[in-house]
Structure 1
């Protein structure tokens, strides 16, 4: 859909606008991303309240960030080893060079909590 295909939102006598579908919002956001207009100017041109348009943009940005975070690889390496001289352990190497080695079952909840915390902050 090109910017010329977009419609202007109609309002009633009280200034209320007709509801927009997700597809229509996506079309407006796609068209906006192809222009060099400011958000306020684009919203004014298409009869959209600027605060509504800014909210749509914020929702799209958050959705994209969530998608990028979910697709990122968190672990670099996980190794389970059982050499004769060392006790059985699980070694987890994280991006940036940090690593965690678990050698006893009671350590697993702590490591799981740490990894959950790191997943939320990355």
Structure 2
């Protein structure tokens, strides 16, 4: 049984040579995961918390304008909130997709010899 398992596994020297597809997938995958996580951390520290304050203020101002009956101001405040949330979601999508593609590259590196 041990010999059949060994025959299924690729030899490490032949498939992980310099500039092989497997090596590039592993290094690229690790790089994408690291860059995605660093980008997410930078976004969270420098952008996310400041935008959350602005979104809360915009929602509060929109609610106050609705209570006062000023429809044009309500629309303007909610458009501002929408643009902030769109910017927020674009950054999160970028960060998540970078990490996801990094994991996909690692998976392909594992499956590539077969």
Q: TM-score range by the shorter chain?
A: 0.3 to 0.5
Q: TM-score, normalised by structure 1?
A: 0.36
- Higher RCO (C-alpha 8 Å, min separation 6): 2
Q: Which has the higher helix share?
A: 2
Q: TM-score, normalised by structure 2?
A: 0.38
